Structure 1
């Protein structure tokens, strides 16, 4: 008898999540449509819906039109976007980005804070301070969860490697959970960009994708059969740390990494060296390129050729349906995407589609919004569309 009750509880929990998934993804939607989509009895759907409504997680919008055969008018429902909010942080080399989202992904606010000269303890103090002064008064549950994105390797919510910050003695998850009593997830920024493409954009139409982030370093978020692939120790997708090979002599070039040659930071450094101007940044590259500066056009042409080879290598390993490029530089200069596609076709025989990720500034943070939403709803294995 106990086993039967347990099985019934498990089944009810699964069905309730399926109903919530339908409302989240397809709302406004009627109970009758949910019943048809899930092939569940109408009374079962009503019971599960009432449980969600009691928690104020869903709201009814009113009645729709009756069918041509008459009968009761359907009542439409949707997710209660103001049930609560999430906060996502992105710790960069010089900045801390912070985004606040309603349940469902709607952006409430975005802020950028300068963290030049900050160690990890100071960054944590800043995050805690900003969370404490945050006031979102129009939600019933308040803060639901926190996501922190980092450039580095994350294994089971613990940062094991970070190229720009010493995080070896920090446990962000424990510190933030103890302070705010909500779920906290730590994740690699490239992985979050891949989640963003899957849950917010057209990547959801594909089961196997790569999202290659080209910023200060280079990383890839890997989606296999619709799920994020992290590897055994969270190191999957660390393509920027691959050793560069010297094509002329066939030996490793002093063990320099791929991102030392063709990350955005490497390209900016090369431009600074050639132009003898240490103040050059991304926008200066864009301006000089558009002004037909010969040096910058040559540098970026070589950059495109190198990126096309990197994409060929990762595509050969994972055979994705589509590769998304998350790069503020390429987003600012779409001409570079055409160049990369052309170079790629010459060596890859159209192996994979290459598309430019949109809203690169927000991609990581929105991916964090999705990840923590799945976490606090206990729906990590369910598809949610934002």
Structure 2
């Protein structure tokens, strides 16, 4: 069956991936043109296409234009026939989706992660969410190709293991092994910021850039780095942990134990804390009325709402946050020199107040005129960006020859 791991390995062999990706990128293409454009021999193409037709992953859709002989039959990816599951395991919520091969969302659900939480309880919770999806598609169960997981924190990609999920205070969660044993599907696990970068590369604002950085600014701050069209991991899986870049050596203590980290001064909770401090020394703000003097109810989202209502204190704090983020992005430009930086995450929704400060700060600090023009954009994905990125983990291994 196609959904089983053995069939997945069959499909993702090098030549199959080359052919699949060529069909995907072309939209519709003949066997002869695949052979010409890939340098594979016509018999090799014919044999692999026959296998792909047998699995129904590829279909014959029409006849092309004749160049003198019989009209060629065109091939296309049978995107609606097969499904993927994507999971976003965040600090507070698990977001789950089912999609087709084009990334179109067929099902979505957001569920709060129960507390207190342990490794086993989290795995049971994840399994339950997947079972709910599969129950809706009982007749199409064999059409599910795999499961992608975007996990916050540090992930061992090779083992599919969550090494450290700071917001849940959990370590060494064997996500891949547990889910593959339970469902018999291929499972890939990756850091949430990196899968966001994949979502942008495949379906979002990163499709036109070979070198881009997607920066996730929410409760924490992390980045997915794309170099030459591929994710960059680093030797120990912590590439992109920019939230723990020191911005202010004398700044407040971060959850990681260091002081003045970008995350500690520009993440969602940090924004809320700065507002609380200003209110405690007598600054005026409509946010006091919004929370009825209960400062514990102040969140980054509420600060944005107050700013949209014209609250000067909240506007100023968001602009200050933009300057901190701008310093962090300047450092990224000097280290990696990307063509584009894509902002995502809850804090990025306040881009109407952040973006001008971010760009002004970068223009003041970036070394060269051309680098000052690095494109800064805001993601158009909503809450399911990480989950969409998770399904691209499956697509990348199916369609990208370099991943085999």
TM-score using structure 2 length: 0.82
1:191 aligned to 2:194? yes
Aligned to 2:107: 109
Question: Larger relative contact order (C-alpha < 8 A, sep ≥ 6)?
Answer: 2
**Which sits farther off after the overlay, 207-216 or 42-51?**
42-51
Q: Distance in 1 between matches of 2:79 and 2:345?
A: 30
Aligned to 1:145: 146
Q: Which runs of 5+ in 1 are unaligned?
A: 1-9
Q: Is the contact made by 2:86 and 2:147 (CA closer than 8 Å) also made in structure 1? A: yes
1:317 aligned to 2:341? no
Aligned to 2:4: none
| Offset, 1:169 | 4.8
* Paired residue secondary structure (1:168): strand
Q: Distance in 2 between matches of 1:254 and 1:89?
A: 31
Distance 1:272 1:25, change over 3 A: farther
Correspondence for 1:341 among 335, 359, 380:
359
Aligned to 1:5: none
Map Cα deviations across residues 162-189 of structure 1 (whole Å, 9 max, x no partner): 2111322531221111111112222111
Q: Is the contact made by 1:24 and 1:104 (CA closer than 8 Å) also made in structure 2? A: no
| Offset, 1:304 | 0.6
Aligned to 2:124: 125
Aligned to 1:228: 231
1:258-337 matches, within 5 Å, as 258-273=262-277, 274=279, 275=288, 277-337=295-355
Q: Distance in 2 between matches of 1:311 and 1:325?
A: 10
1:177 aligned to 2:180? yes
Aligned to 1:18: 18
* Paired residue secondary structure (1:205): coil
Q: Is the contact made by 1:83 and 1:140 (CA closer than 8 Å) also made in structure 2? A: no
Aligned to 1:71: 69
Distance 1:231 1:177, change over 3 A: same
Aligned to 2:283: none
Map Cα deviations across residues 168-211 of structure 1 (whole Å, 9 max, x no partner): 25312211111111122221111111111112134232222111
* Paired residue secondary structure (1:86): strand
TM-score using structure 1 length: 0.86
| Offset, 1:282 | 4.2
Q: Is the contact made by 1:136 and 1:142 (CA closer than 8 Å) also made in structure 2? A: no
Q: Which runs of 5+ in 2 are unaligned?
A: 1-9, 252-256, 280-287
Aligned to 1:205: 208
Q: Distance in 1 between matches of 2:308 and 2:248?
A: 32
* Paired residue secondary structure (1:207): coil
**Which sits farther off after the overlay, 324-333 or 190-199?**
324-333
Q: Distance in 1 between matches of 2:123 and 2:258?
A: 36
Aligned to 1:6: none
Q: Distance in 1 between matches of 2:212 and 2:244?
A: 20
Q: Distance in 2 between matches of 1:341 and 1:247?
A: 24
**Which sits farther off after the overlay, 300-309 or 362-371?**
362-371
Task: Count the aligned residue pairs.
Answer: 366
Q: Is the contact made by 1:102 and 1:108 (CA closer than 8 Å) also made in structure 2? A: yes
Distance 1:272 1:146, change over 3 A: farther
| Offset, 1:101 | 1.3
Distance 1:159 1:97, change over 3 A: same
Distance 1:32 1:139, change over 3 A: farther
Q: Is the contact made by 2:150 and 2:389 (CA closer than 8 Å) also made in structure 1? A: no
| Offset, 1:369 | 0.4
Q: Is the contact made by 2:221 and 2:242 (CA closer than 8 Å) also made in structure 1? A: yes
1:353 aligned to 2:356? no
Q: Distance in 2 between matches of 1:219 and 1:356?
A: 15
Distance 1:20 1:125, change over 3 A: same
Q: Is the contact made by 2:63 and 2:72 (CA closer than 8 Å) also made in structure 1? A: yes
Q: Is the contact made by 1:86 and 1:101 (CA closer than 8 Å) also made in structure 2? A: yes
Correspondence for 2:161 among 142, 158, 177:
158
